[in-house]
Chain A
């Protein structure tokens, strides 16, 4: 038996801010932004939520649903570009919160928006080599954006956690590969509060080159064509890019719609493609084949082919990702500024 996903969990903060609210403040046309980006609202972390709390909640859901004994988890990797500490791991906080003892490998990963899928690949390698029985890979972010920057319409918060193992697999990893190059499309220098980006340069040379190359390579390697897949999910920095990537590759809207979550929660960065993937797992049936392609600026894409197994029939999947997306409490822009600590306080 190949390694695969044994269980999964997601967490999306309950607060939301709408594109209309942000556009109103900056003198933009909300309709132009919504049409241009394909984003209508985004999730906002509460004052007491950060990447560590999102990671723990997603991990707990995965452990509870899969009925996993935390002590059997031999590795925890948390991928994020908004770890609460620059020095001090998030993975240790997750380890103590889920009660997995002290005998586990742990590290924090950073590769822009694809650090979560990098964690899945590392866990898969450790499981298949026999080093560990179960690995926990998490992608979570409370992404930053400067006030007034176009990123502010989409940069949001959320995460997903996956228990990877060989026993009790609900979605087998048939193949995975990565496509990587040094492409400076989006970055944040040490000590800087907000990221910078190359504007339109983030498109063709960065997102589209890496996503389509990884997808084409994995299909060439395995001999599959787009019509062989029941579902596909691509990284979602906005609502336009994944639809265009799907069109370039020859996937239909029906194949990507279930996993297209960005319009209603924004870009959750390290959580983005894997929350979409989780939304697909929520409705997937045994025998379904799923293509997942993440993208991390800087730049790289991890591609995976998953085959859903018979064990999915009895796997508990409520509340679903879309249940969590459709809930939520809307806040105004000034509350959003306070929650994201964009207001400078005295003392």
Chain B
């Protein structure tokens, strides 16, 4: 678990994805190969600005054990202003969220590996003020 998360820190702590410079397609999570251009792929890393709008969302009531204190929580599809559509948790009251709502990235705790384990951090979204 630790090495698997550690390898992705750069992409989870901020919204660092990739873009194919040949066709302009943006990816998050990052891809190192463009499925459209295939052998002509020209992949470059790209940091997205972290602002966007909610395209769709679901409210999760039945959660894995590590998230039971957080329930209910929101998982949404977010269309970034300068990037692709990504999946992320949105931190707000479930009554507050709606399709089209403007959101902005925030740095939050994902979960803790028990009381003596590693704490995993990453990007979530909150309503834009």
Contacts and interface: CB of A to CB of B under 8 A. Distances in A.
A48 B124 contact: yes
Interface string B57-95: 000000000000110000000000000000000010100
Given A47-B69, A84-B119, A93-B121, A53 B129 contact: no
A48 B119 contact: no
A126 B26 CA distance: 40
Of A93, A97, A99, A327, most buried by chain B (CB within 10 Å of CB) is A97
A34 B4 CA distance: 49
Given A53-B108, A53-B109, A53-B121, 17 more contacts: A46-B108, A47-B109, A48-B70, A48-B124, A52-B107, A53-B107, A56-B107, A60-B107, A84-B119, A96-B10, A97-B13, A97-B14, A97-B121, A99-B10, A99-B16, A319-B129, A338-B69
A108 interface: no
Contacts of A84: 119
Contact of A57 (B13, B93, B106, B129): B106
Contacts of B107: 52-53, 56-57, 60, 97
A97 B11 CA distance: 9
B40 interface: no
Contacts of B13: 56, 93, 96-97
Contact of B110 (A46, A48, A319, A327): A48
Contacts of A93: 13, 121
Contacts, number: 48
Nearest to B96: A329
Q: Which 7 A-B pairs have the closest CB atoms?
A: A56-B107, A48-B108, A48-B109, A97-B13, A53-B107, A96-B13, A53-B108
Of B16, B93, B129, most buried by chain A (CB within 10 Å of CB) is B129
Interface size class of A (residues with CB under 8 A): 20 to 34
A52 to B, nearest CB: 6
Interface string A38-77: 0000000011111011001100100000000000000000
A84 B10 CA distance: 20
Contacts of A56: 13, 107
A48 B69 CA distance: 10
A50 B47 contact: no
A49 B109 CA distance: 6
18 contacts: A48-B108, A48-B110, A48-B124, A49-B109, A50-B109, A50-B119, A52-B109, A52-B121, A53-B121, A56-B13, A57-B107, A93-B13, A96-B10, A97-B107, A99-B14, A99-B47, A327-B129, A329-B93
Nearest to B119: A84
A127 B129 CA distance: 35
A93 B121 CA distance: 9
B9 interface: yes
A152 B3 CA distance: 39
B111 to A, nearest CB: 9
Interface in B1-55: 9-10, 13-14, 16, 47
A96 B8 CA distance: 11
Contacts of A329: 93
A23 to B, nearest CB: 26
Interface string B86-128: 0000010100000000000011111000000001010010000
A319 B64 CA distance: 36
A99 B46 CA distance: 13
